Each structure stands twice: as structure tokens, then as C-alpha cells.
Amino acid sequence: MSTLNTSITTDTAQRETTTQDAVSMAKEKPAEAAIEYGKTVGTPFADDAKFCLRDVEVFYGDTQAIKGISLDIARNEVIAFIGPSGCGKSTFLRCLNRMNDSIDICRVKGRLELDGQDLYDPKRDVVELRARVGMVFQKPNPFPKSIYDNVAYGPRIHGLANRKSELDDIVEDSLRKAGLWNEVKDRLDAPATGMSGGQQQRLCIARTIAVSPEVVLMDEPCSALDPIATAKVEELIAELSQSYTIIIVTHSMQQAARVSHRTAYFHLGHLVEVNDTDKVFTAPEHELTESYITGRFG
Amino acid sequence: MPTQQDDVYGDHISNQFNEELAELKTEFLKMGGLVEQQLMDAVQALIENDSQLAEDVRARDKAVDRMEVAIDEEATRVIARRQPTARDLRLVVSVIKMVNDLERVGDESKKIAKFAIGLSEEGQAPRGYVETRHIGNHVASMLHDALDAFARLDSEQALRVMKEDKRVDEEYQAATRTLLTFMMEDTRNISRCMSVMWVLRALERVGDHACNIAENVIFMVKGEDIRHTSMERAEEVVKR
């Protein structure tokens, strides 16, 4: 009984602390016990899968970062990966074009297939894979070259254009798709680094789609952008989804709600829930998803 | 110490958000309490020929209207500032809808009060007051239980309220038949009986509004909209 009383006192004391304190005491992340290994609620599987991923595990040395995730990603869908920092969503994303290969201590296990073919086949050409599965990063990273050369770089090294006019067409087409053509058509020779952050990010998207990828991975593509530039990139995602499969990692839940068809919630390396985005944001199935998207921890 | 139920909307990282949702809930329940009182007073004024009480009910309807607007504004602010999701979103959206039901119950009470004044002036022997009192008590307890289900997030209680509505409808039909008999007996009863019929009709509508509130509570708790489905479907959802 005395223990109970003490806990009540503590609880009341906590309730009386200032808001600032309350924020710094942010709730403990719920225990991993609430999740069954390898179990995902909702609809993780799709009929027309571009990626078929089964029992994926990723280790950094002895630490397991991804814990038995199985997921299908459908053709031309936009799927958002959300979850608190360190939940494994970026690690998982980077498995999809083998960006983790460059990390020595990183090991990927499980079955990962792109169009039914093993992603981690030792005979697979990783450069060709990354042309098919392009990536846009958090911070815009244009090459210190002209706007034109930034977009033309990929098609050149992959030999996609035989003549200058063909290359011109690819550059224009990519910039148009990225919604940037009208803003830069008169200064294609200007250095890309002189553009605004939002323009640079759209340039990076143009550079990615210039090599005609099938999938675009986006790792928090808007976190360094202002709301207007963010809106333009989101608009672009909607348009690109007509022809590409898009997988986006985002810390902005509103962004996930706005742009994606399905939302996947990651927690401590587990894939807790995958459902239609509308469902996730109105009536999620898993308690942890609910807690995260309603701002109860994270 | 807060119970698990209290904490459902009170455990966000942002205490400010907790307070805003708690405020919304409290204001809604306050409005619910006021509307309940309006309903009971209106019925009492009618049955006891108390035109002063009826006047009070009519005057207090303004306060109900003001609360409706204030709660709607607060709900809109929460959406604009917090972009609530999942159960928080369902709470805010449900409150916006249920506040409308409460306001309509207030209107029905005002209507009953108006008839109470008219009937007390005529001052004849009451006809159909037994039925009125009975249905009045019935829908008042439905409203009370619906608000209680909201306060405790009790979907099973909400389901019970929904089931009661069918019984109210039956009682309403029976009372209508009784009044028709009175009118056929003596045509001088018609005007009076018509007034009582309107009162019964208002009470029957209150039952519908209580039912709407109950449906919203089930939506809030279970995340599924069971309006315009069958009672069986509602039962399935609540059992989940």
C-alpha cells in the first residue's frame, strides 16, 4: 500500500512540472514485447509485387537492425516508411538498392527480389541495379557542375544517348518531369550549386529519373526544404507515381498521409503494421502505430 | 489518480495537446448536461402546466446555441493546430457531429416548452400525458446513457442505447394510436391532441439524436462507422 501511495505522489509531482520538462521527459518507447518477431499486421503483401521481400534481417556487426521483415511493394505504388528515429526504416530502404554494401560491418539476410530476381545475387551488376532503383537523399547533393551536366551525367555514363540531341531531349524531359524546366531552361549552363534548396532537390530528382529508373527511393527528401518547395516535391511524387514505384522514408507523418497509398510503420527494427494510408491515419490496427502517429511517443 | 480511460486522450508528448483534447471533451459533456436538463425541464413544464419553467427552457436555449458554436470553433482550432490522427481525429470529428445532435435536442426541448406554454393556457384535462412522461423519461435516459458512453468510451453501453431506439419508436406508435382514439371520441380534443402529438414527435426525435451520439461513440472507440448498417453489424463491431 505504501508503495502505491509513493507512486501516486510521484505521478502527481510529474503532472505539475512545466511543459518544457514534460517534453524532455518524453514517454519511454514501448517495450519490444508488444511485437511478435516477423509478424506484421495489416496488408503487407500485394498481388503485383515489384519488390518481394521475405524474412529480411540486417545486422551491423552484432547488432540486429532489421528483424525479420516481410513485405511486398506493388508496381507504381507510393509507399511511405514511418517510425521513430532508429527504427530501421532507412536501413531497410537502403537494402533495396544495396546501398548498405558500402558499409563493411553490414550484413543482409533473407530473400529480397526485384521483379522475381534476387537482389543480392553475387553476379548482379550493382551499378545497373542502382540505375533501375534510383535514390534521392535527405540533403540535396548536386554535383559541382552545371544544371545540364548534373542531369546528363547518368545518361552519359550509362550510354543512354548516342547523339547530343538525344541527350538534350533526356535532360529536357527529366527536368520537365521534375517540374523544373520552366525555372531553369534559360540557364542550363549555370552551376547547380547556385540554385535554391528546393530547386536543388528537384534537380536531384531529375538526375535520378534521367536514367529511366523503375523505382525511386527517397530518404526524407523534404526535410531540408521549406513548405513551398516541399509542396512542389510532393506534387512531383504524385505525378511520378504514374510511371514509377516510389518508396519514401519520412519523418513527417502529414507528408506520409498526403503522398502515399500505403504506409508502413517500423518500430525497433520490426515492421509493425502496413495498411492503406487512409486506414493508418484514421483507424490503425496496431496500438504502437496509433501511439506513434498520434504523438504519444517517438 | 487518472484511470486508464481518462488517459486515452491524455498521454501525448505534448501536454498542450492533451489539455486541448481534454477541454473539448469537458465542454462537450458540459453542453450535454445542459441539454439533458433542458429536456427534462421541458417535459416537466408540460406535465405540470408550469409555464414559468417552460419560459426558462426557451430562454436557456441561447446558451445551448452558444456552446455549440464555441465547441465547433475549438474543434476546428485543434484540427488546424494539431492535425490529429487516429483516435484523436475520431474524437474531434465525432464531437463536431455530436454537438450538432445536442443542439438539435436543445431545439426539440424548446419546441416542447413552446407547446407546454400553449397547453397550460388552454388548461383542460390532460390527454396523453402519461405517454409523454413515459417516452420523455425513456429518451432522457437514452441521452444520459449516450453521454455516459462517450465519457467512459463504453461502446457496449452505446450499443444498448441504439437498441433502445427501437423501443422508443414502438412506444411512439402506440401513443399516437391512443391520441387518435381521443380525437375520434370528441373532435374538440383535436387541437390539444395535435399539440401533444408534436411533443411526442419531438421526443421521438430526441431518441434518434441519442442514437446518433451512440453511433459516434462506437466510431470513436472502434474506428468503424456503423451508421446505416444493421444492428448485427454494430454488434459485431462492438464485440471486436
Q: Give the closest residue to B136 by CA, choosing from B115, B156, B118.
A: B115
* Residues B68-82, mean pLDDT to the nearest whole number: 95
What's the CA angle centered on A171, arms A191 and A144, to 5 degrees?
A: 25
| Dist CA A277 CA A293 (whole Å) | 12
B6 pLDDT above the threshold of 70: no
CB-CB contact of B98 with B216 (8 Å): yes
> Hey, is the C-beta of B79 within 8 angstroms of any chain A C-beta?
no
Architecture of domain A36-293: 3-Layer(aba) Sandwich (3.40)
**DSSP for A139-154, written as a single string:** S----SSBHHHHHHHH
* Cβ within 8 Å, pair B86-A294: yes
All three cell numbers of B213, joined, read 451520439
The one-digit pLDDT tens for each residue of chain A (298 residues) are: 333 443 333 333 333 333 333 333 344 455 677 788 989 999 999 988 999 999 999 999 999 999 999 999 999 999 999 999 999 999 999 999 999 988 999 999 999 999 999 999 999 999 999 999 999 999 999 999 999 999 999 999 999 989 999 999 999 999 998 889 999 999 999 999 999 999 999 999 999 999 999 999 999 999 888 888 899 889 989 989 999 999 999 999 999 999 999 999 999 999 999 999 999 999 999 999 999 999 987 5
* Residues B18-31, mean pLDDT to the nearest whole number: 95
Return the pLDDT at B95. Answer: 98
Sort out which chain B residues have CB atoms less than 8 A from A27's CB and list them: 11, 13
Q: Which residue matches cell numbers 425541464? A: B41
> Hey, is the C-beta of B52 within 8 angstroms of any chain A C-beta?
no
Considering only CB atoms, which residues of chain A are within 8 Å of chain B? 8, 11, 19, 22-23, 26-27, 253-254, 257, 281-284, 289-290, 293-298
Choose the mutation target among B6, B13, B14, B218 for the interface with A, i.e. most A CBs under 10 Å: B13
Using CB atoms within 10 Å of the CB of residue A152, give its burial: 0 to 12 exposed, 13 to 18 middle, 19+ buried. buried
Q: What percent of chain B has pLDDT over 70?
A: 97
B191 pLDDT above the threshold of 80: yes
Return the pLDDT at A2. Answer: 38
CATH numbers and ranges of domains, chain B: 10-239 (1.20.58.220)
| Dist CA A237 CA A259 (whole Å) | 7
H or E, element range at A247: strand A245-249
* Residues B87-95, mean pLDDT to the nearest whole number: 96
Q: Say how many CB pairs under 8 Å bridge A and B.
A: 50
Q: Give the closest residue to A47 by CA, choosing from A90, A23, A76.
A: A76
Return the pLDDT at A25. Answer: 38
What's the CA angle centered on B28, arms B23 and B30, to 5 degrees?
A: 95
Would you kindly state where each structural domain of chain A is located, as residue ranges?
36-293
Return the pLDDT at A31. Answer: 61
Q: How far does CA A38 lie from the centroid of its chain? A: 21
The 3-state DSSP class for residue A49 equals strand
* Cβ within 8 Å, pair A283-B83: no
